[in-house]
């Protein structure tokens, strides 16, 4: 493998400058959700699909690793228990970086031949054909300098106050940079153990339960065990001179959860201050989505030197500690870790949910302040560009997969608008059913799986909604006209222009806030077609109308016109009611142009339709021939319409 040293150096030099720029995240602020789960792969060309044929089922892994965080080097043995599910199998593959050197492979405790492939594959050949459905074990012994730090991710090292720290970060394609695994999203590992041997000054955090920690000579061995199905990218460890603090969060008189904080000694007091804020998050998540899914183990954070956080199951890796990022990584324990996206195209099922649940934490705790700010920020971010779908249309581009505007913000607001469409009861019931579906729980999920559960809970066909908001691009612009009729009913006309041609029309409930005498009422107009008109009963003279007041829908306003305030359409009608033999007088402020004046009865029967010269300021209408009843006068200039009702005695 020495022939690849030049290749490695070349890549490192080429991308070093780029990496330094790209890793400068500003990850804590009120303005945006923070999440640098782009993390492992900062290259847009980082597409690294699994090369492993789906011929066997991974049952368990035991990772025995030797890590000195002062060395950019990893040495380990990974034992894999597996069951073939194709007949005639006499070889299997793992994903493993070609940069790492495999020293030997044991199969059922006997050495077997293997080949490392240039496409990061490890081919292992068995001395005989394996039986279908029988359990086997194979162990891979390997070591080496992993691929470039800070660029392709995987294994990385740095320091804090001069003390070294090492960590792993594998999503989406970098697990193979530090251990032999099956990196595809089609086979969760039923259980995993991570055993890390470090110099005694350090300790390792990882997934699951710390079953043992022993000091042997100058080394410390930390043994972690995780007993829930887990994808390869969520297996992780971190090593440094951690201070370890634990406490319990009580969910009920009988349920409490162990919290473990692995933080630098100099940062532990701050970390604990932030960590206990999970007391404001767990009750909401437990209530809406079922109790924390890994109750038999723990939840914790382990501190690392990167920007952002990563939701490693039961032990999130944290570069920063703040309210939003703690909520986001905790939310992933339900969405991302319990149900995991089946393909990277479906990543919004992880990130859109975690982002929305972060917003919900604000809704739950500060509904009148940060919840409103959060929604406004999402809508502003999403509508800053006209296109882009939640569905990832290019998984070869790491930046596209983890696009903050689309995968995170738009994914979150698509959930919020679905909630506005379905109502809270059906929305939360559908999600609860989705995450508790025995076929999906602790398994992989698709957008179709989620859609099916939301349709079942609501009884609605949501194909239009997913086509518009998940697969289609953009958002609607609205042109809205309104007026208040003499009987105080409110008239609205909604015109919509989509920002992107992939969607012809967004069917949405549109919130309109009506202010009257210092009070307000919000009407949700279920807008199903362009140019749709609404008349709503109301009992108060309205002072003003506000579109989408709390940013509950992703939309922009092009215009909002009170038809009464248009100079050319202000007109007064008197007398009303009008008696037999009387003349109705229409008057308005004279303006240039013409309007169309029409009169009809309440059944739509038309009595006259004529052009009106708006420059004259008034006209008289003879109503002698009309029978007693209620009539409508309709004055139209361009696309602006004013309707006035009058009564003939």
The residues binding Zn ion (CB under 5 A) are: 35, 37, 351, 354
User: If DSSP codes are grouped into helix, strand and coil, which group holds residue 133?
Assistant: coil
Q: 26 vs 424, which CB is nearer to Zn ion?
A: 26
Nearer to Zn ion, 37 or 68 (CB): 37
Helices 348-365 and 282-289: crossing angle, nearest 10°?
120
Nearest distance, CB of residue 499 and Zn ion, angstroms = 26
Provide the β-strand partners of residue 556: 477
Angle at 18 between CA 17 and CA 23, to 5 degrees: 105
Please tell me the distance from the alpha carbon of residue 502 to that of residue 471, in angstroms, as a whole number: 9
Kindly state the smallest distance separating residue 308's Cβ from Zn ion, in Å: 9
CB of 185 to Zn ion, least distance (A): 16
CA 442 to each of CA 42, 50, 223, 280: distance values in angstroms, whole numbers, following the listed order: 28, 21, 23, 25
Minimum distance from residue 377 beta carbon to Zn ion (Å): 16
Query: CB-based contacts of 109: which residues, under 8 Å, 6+ apart?
Result: none
Phi/psi region, residue 517 (left: phi>0; alpha: psi -120 to 50; beta: rest), is left
- Helix/strand/coil (H/E/C) assignment for every residue in 65-112: EECCCCCCCEEEEEEEEEEECCCCCCEEEEECCCCCEEEEEEECCEEC
Q: Which is nearer to Zn ion, 335 or 391 (CB)?
A: 335
Decide whether 297 or 351 has the Cβ nearer to Zn ion.
Answer: 351
Residue among 306 and 482 whose Cβ is closer to Zn ion = 306
Q: Is 124 strand, coil or helix?
A: strand
In sequence order, which ranges of 264-303 are alpha helices (DSSP H)? 268-275, 282-289
Element (H, E) at 443: strand 443-445
Residue 319 CB, shortest distance to Zn ion, in Å, is: 13
CB of 317 to Zn ion, least distance (A): 12
Shortest CB 368 distance to Zn ion, Å: 26
Smaller CB separation from Zn ion, 450 or 478:
450
Strands (E), 227-312: 237-240, 243-250, 256-263, 299-303, 309-310
CB-wise, 334 or 631, nearer to Zn ion?
334
DSSP 410: I
What is d(CA 144, CA 154) in angstroms, rounded to the nearest whole number?
13
- Cis peptide, bond prior to residue 575, ω within 30 of zero: yes
Report how far Cα 414 is from the mean position of its chain's Cα atoms.
9
| Closest to 511 in 3D by CA, of 473, 488, 480 | 480
**Does residue 609 contact residue 596 with C-beta atoms inside 8 Å?**
yes
Which backbone phi and psi does 572 adopt, to 5 degrees?
-110, 145
Q: 74: which strand partners? A: 144
* Long-range contacts from 607-615, C-beta under 8 angstroms, 24+ separation: 607/631, 614/568, 614/588, 614/590, 615/590, 615/591
CB of 336 to Zn ion, least distance (A): 7
Instruction: State the nearest-atom distance from the C-beta of 35 to Zn ion, in Å.
Output: 4
Shortest distance, CB of residue 309 to Zn ion, whole angstroms? 8
Residue placing its CB nearer to Zn ion in the complex, 36 or 222 = 36
Tell me whether residue 289 or residue 478 sits nearer to Zn ion (CB atom).
289
* Residue number with CB closer to Zn ion (239 or 354): 354
Cβ closer to Zn ion: 37 or 552?
37
What is the nearest approach in angstroms of Zn ion to the Cβ of residue 459? Answer: 31
Distance of closest approach, residue 109 Cβ to Zn ion, in angstroms: 41
DSSP conformation class of 576 = S
Ordered strands of the 316-318 beta sheet: 243-250, 256-263, 299-303, 316-318, 309-310
Q: How far is the CB of 493 from Zn ion (least distance, A)?
A: 41
Nearer Cβ to Zn ion (351/426): 351
Q: How far is CA 18 from CA 12, 141, 155, in A?
A: 10, 34, 19
Q: Which is nearer to Zn ion, 27 or 124 (CB)?
A: 27
> Is the Cβ–Cβ distance between 36 and 169 less than 8 Å?
no
């Amino acid at each position: 493998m020495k022939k690849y040293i030049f290749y490695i150096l070349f890549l490192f030099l080429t991308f070093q400058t780029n990496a330094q720029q790209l890793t400068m995240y500003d990850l804590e602020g009120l303005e945006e959700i923070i999440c640098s789960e782009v993390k492992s792969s900062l290259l847009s060309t980082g597409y690294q699909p699994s090369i492993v044929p789906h011929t066997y089922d991974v049952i368990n892994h035991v990772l025995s690793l030797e890590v000195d965080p002062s060395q950019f080097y990893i040495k380990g043995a990974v034992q894999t228990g597996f069951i073939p599910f194709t007949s005639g199998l006499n070889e299997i593959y793992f994903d493993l970086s070609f940069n790492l050197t495999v020293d030997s492979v044991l199969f059922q405790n006997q050495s077997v031949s293997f080949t490392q492939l240039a496409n990061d594959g490890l081919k292992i050949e068995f001395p005989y054909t394996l039986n279908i459905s029988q359990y086997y074990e194979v162990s891979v012994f390997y070591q080496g300098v992993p691929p470039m730090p800070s660029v392709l991710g995987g294994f990385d090292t740095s320091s804090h106050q001069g003390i070294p720290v090492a960590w792993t970060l594998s999503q989406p394609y970098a697990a193979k940079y530090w251990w032999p695994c099956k990196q595809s999203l089609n086979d969760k590992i039923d259980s995993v153990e991570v055993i890390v041997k470090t110099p005694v000054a350090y300790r390792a955090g990882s997934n699951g339960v710390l079953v043992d920690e022993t000091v042997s000579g100058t080394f410390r061995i930390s043994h972690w065990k995780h007993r829930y199905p887990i994808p390869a990218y969520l297996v992780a460890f971190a090593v440094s001179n951690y201070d370890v603090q634990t406490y319990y969060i009580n969910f009920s008189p009988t349920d409490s959860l162990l919290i473990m904080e692995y933080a630098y000694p100099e940062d532990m007091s701050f970390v604990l201050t932030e960590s206990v804020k999970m007391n404001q998050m767990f009750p909401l998540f437990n209530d809406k989505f079922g109790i924390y899914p890994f109750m038999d183990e723990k939840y914790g954070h382990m501190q690392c030197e990167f920007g952002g956080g990563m939701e490693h199951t039961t032990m999130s890796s944290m570069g920063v500690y703040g309210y939003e990022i703690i909520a986001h990584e905790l939310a992933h324990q339900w969405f991302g870790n319990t149900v995991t996206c089946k393909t990277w195209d479906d990543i919004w099922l992880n990130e859109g949910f975690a982002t929305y649940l972060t917003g919900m934490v604000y809704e739950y705790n500060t509904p009148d302040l940060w919840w409103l700010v959060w929604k406004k920020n999402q809508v502003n971010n999403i509508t800053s560009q006209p296109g882009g779908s939640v569905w990832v249309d290019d998984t070869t581009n790491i930046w596209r997969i983890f696009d903050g505007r689309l995968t995170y913000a738009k994914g979150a607001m698509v959930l919020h608008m679905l909630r506005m469409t379905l109502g809270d009861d059906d929305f939360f019931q559908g999600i609860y059913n989705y995450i508790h579906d025995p076929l999906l729980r602790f398994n992989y999920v698709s957008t179709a799986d989620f859609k099916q559960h939301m349709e079942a809970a609501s009884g609605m066909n949501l194909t239009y909604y997913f086509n518009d908001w998940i697969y289609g691009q953009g958002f609607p612009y609205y042109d809205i006209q309104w007026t208040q009729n003499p009987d105080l009913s409110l008239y609205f006309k909604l015109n919509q222009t989509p920002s992107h041609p992939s969607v012809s029309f967004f069917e949405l409930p549109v919130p309109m806030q009506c202010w009257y005498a210092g009070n307000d009422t919000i009407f949700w107009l279920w807008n199903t077609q362009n140019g749709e008109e609404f008349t709503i009963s109301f009992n108060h003279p309205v002072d003003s109308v506000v579109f989408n007041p709390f940013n509950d829908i992703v939309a922009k306003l092009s215009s909002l016109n009170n038809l009464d305030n248009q100079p050319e359409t202000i007109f007064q009608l008197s007398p009303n009611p009008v008696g037999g033999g009387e003349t109705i007088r229409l008057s308005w402020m004279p303006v240039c142009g013409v309007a169309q004046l029409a009169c009809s009865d309440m059944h739509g029967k038309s009595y006259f339709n004529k052009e009106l010269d708006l420059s004259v300021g008034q006209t008289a209408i003879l109503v002698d021939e009309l029978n007693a009843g209620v009539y409508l006068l309709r004055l139209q200039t361009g696309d602006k319409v004013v309707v006035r009702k009058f009564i003939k005695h």
